[in-house]
Structure 1
Amino acid sequence: MTGNKENQQGPRHKRDLTRRKVVVTGAGAVAAVGVGGSLAAGAFAGETGKAKAGAPATGSASAAEVCYKLTSETTEGPYYIDADKIRQDITEDREGIALSLGIKVIDSETCEPLRNVAVDIWHCDALGIYSGYESLSTGGGGGAPADAPSGTPTGTPTGEPPTGAPSGGAGGGGGHEEPTDDERYLRGTWKTDKRGLVTFKTVFPGWYRGRCVHIHTKVHVDGAWTDAGYEGGHTCHTGQFFFDEESVLASAEVAPYSTSTTERTTLTEDTIYDQSGTQGGLLKLKYDKKNIAKGVQASITVGVDPEATHTGTDDAVQPGASATAAASGGASPSPSVG
């Protein structure tokens, strides 16, 4: 779909001229210096019910502050397939809790929405299986275990790849595996509209050993939409979206999730999620707390630098490292999968 050109950032003088400095003067207090201080605050307005999709999970900072944050870069993982499915409904025949995923892509520096960019998502099914890699996936089901997943995993995850996991799963980059089958469920690519929005129809993901519940994503820019799909351009963001523990525990009570016999890693134990809330990919979720089986609506605003190149292979933030540490060369790899 896209050609990942070398990590060339190009001239940045135009972006530098429009850069606005943000000063946090107190808990949640933000002052914008320069042009359009109200632009940042209004960047999420008029989104038909999703105006605060990019607000921090803590609610202690304003939308203006969020607008200036790059969404965390993460590893691509071993199971990426370069978009051969241009579609919004990626469910196919997979069983699970219906999930509507709304993603807004903005330029993290100008706060403007990015239109007609390509957004990929891919994730495992309710039992932790990835299409294209069914023989390598480490999820699994069977009879309902006597002790279904709870707030405490059945074992203590070490972050080590499970036995038999693909060797490329360890570390943050260079771990791509070639597909082992022709299945392509729970994978798809679609373009953002004029507001920078794209919506996918899928199912709530399950879990597998060593990782919390998550969805992978890539954002591609500067390419062209043709009859064959999206061609050219480069990948400006590779990340992952995460689900809070309350929603995962609720899903674990619903079939087929409840039949999983795989130990679960919690959000705080995960080696990829950087614990930074929305900036780290934590989704905003809406669902009936008494009956999650009715379906879940998830939303998030992703701030990217369209001039950067982040493929998630050799330049991704390593597991357990912060974006700041990685940028300064202080990241240290630790084993991970997917």
Structure 2
Amino acid sequence: MRGSWSLLAAAAAAAAVAAAPFTAATKTLTPTQMEGPFFLDLRTLRRDVTNGRPGVPLYLQLRVEGGCKPGGYGCKRLPDALVDVWHTDSRGIYSGFSDRGVNATGRDWMRGTQVTRKDGMITFRTIVPGWYPGRLAHLHVKVRLAVPPANRGHVGCLPYRPPMGFTTQLYLPDALVRSIYAVPPYNSVDTYVSDIDQDVVLEGDAAEYAALTMAVWPATAAWCTANGFTSGSPWGMGHVATYTLRLQS
């Protein structure tokens, strides 16, 4: 799926106590991916989207850059962008819908919105998403431009302008999700099948999968404290995942 905005993906592999460093080892144009049927335009401003649902903690750090020249150069960090994130819980169920025998209408777990800071960054506390048949482990991201500073506290009143939006899906490394899906609460679902050929969105496109896979490393108590999160959970410290979204107009 292609749009009027193009996305360049780059992820950092090094961890730091404060903000994770974001470096661009490669500047390869990557495609958008479809919004899918489970988007809800709730615009709930929050960092923690878990609603207390069980699962391995995942701290999702995104940086949004814009004004990129062809090849991904000349990008500038983009403040005041509205960023939506949504994905399934540990059972592979989306909130807000009745699906696969679970009625989750009126619920809003694993959904949240933030406005990028001056450095173009946001951080969500969520969990490693579960999976469902026909899809690899993934989460959805939508970027909407731009949010006037005076309206940051009233995001729900802003008009939705599709031409100014960019939507994609991000993935977790296969080895990580395989290890997590082998233990509770994730192993209550059928055995995970990580076959790109069977993913109805990727359709066997290994290059696209690689371009949209986040860099992930174990979270530490120091990192959580420095970034304003309470560390630890019944499912361990969790992981930090980073990704840079580069928009080219």
What is the TM-score of this pair, normalised by structure 2?
A: 0.74
Partner of 1:259: 188
- Offset at residue 111 of structure 1 (A): 1.1
- CA separation of 1:229/1:279 partners in 2, compared to 1, >3 Å: closer, same or farther? farther
- State the AA in 1 paired with 2:144: H
Corresponding residue for residue 52 of structure 2 = 93
**Match of 1:294?**
237
Deviation digits for residues 138-192 of structure 1 (CA, Å, limit 9, x no counterpart): 8x8xxxxxxxxxxxxxxxxxxxxxxxxxxxxxxxxxxxxxx97100110000011
CA positional deviation for 1:48: 4.0
Look up the SS of the partner of 1:301 in the other structure. Answer: strand
Q: Which amino acid letter does the alignment assign opposite residue 51 of structure 1?
A: F
1:218 is matched with 142
Q: Following the alignment from structure 1 to structure 2, what is the Cα–Cα distance between the partners of residues 252 and 279?
A: 20
Matched residue, 1:116:
80
Alignment of 1:84 onto 2:8? no
Distance 1:101 1:208 in 2: 21
Q: 1:251 to 1:268 in 2, by over 3 A?
A: farther
Normalised by the size of structure 1, how large is the TM-score? 0.56
| Percent identity of equivalent pairs | 29
Match for residue 125 of structure 1? 89
Quick one: distance in 1 between partners of 2:210 and 2:30?
Answer: 5
Residues 8 and 122 of structure 1: CA distance in aligned 2, closer, same or farther (over 3 Å): closer
CA contact (8 A) 2:53 2:109 kept: yes
Contact 1:212/1:270 (<8 A) preserved? yes
Off by >4 Å, runs of 4+ in structure 1: none
Equivalent residue letter for 1:119: V
1:136 to partner: Cα distance: 1.6
Q: Does 1:284 align with 2:215?
A: yes
C-alpha distance in structure 1 between counterparts of 2:174 and 2:208, whole Å: 13
CA positional deviation for 1:194: 1.1
Is residue 239 from structure 1 mapped to residue 207 from structure 2 by the alignment? no
In the alignment, is the contact (CA less than 8 A) between 1:251 and 1:293 conserved in 2?
A: no
Distance change (3 Å), C-alpha of 1:81 and 1:233: closer
Runs (5+) with no aligned partner, structure 1? 1-6, 10-45, 56-62, 141-178, 308-338
- How far apart are the structure 2 equivalents of 1:70 and 1:194? 24
Are 1:271 and 2:203 counterparts? Answer: no
Shift of 1:279: 7.2
* Segment of structure 1 superposing worse, 185-194 or 106-115: 106-115
Give yes or no for contact 1:104–1:113 (8 Å, CA) kept in 2. yes
CA distance in 1, matches of 2:190, 2:48: 28
- Identify if the C-alpha distance between structure 1 residues 115 and 128 changes in structure 2 by more than 3 Å, giving closer, same or farther: same
Note if contact 1:242-1:282 (Cα within 8 Å) is conserved in structure 2: yes
Task: Provide the C-alpha distance between the structure 1 equivalents of 2:200 and 2:209, rounded to a whole number of angstroms.
Answer: 17
1:303 CA drift (Å): 1.3
RMSD: 2.8
- Secondary structure of the residue aligned to 2:122 is strand
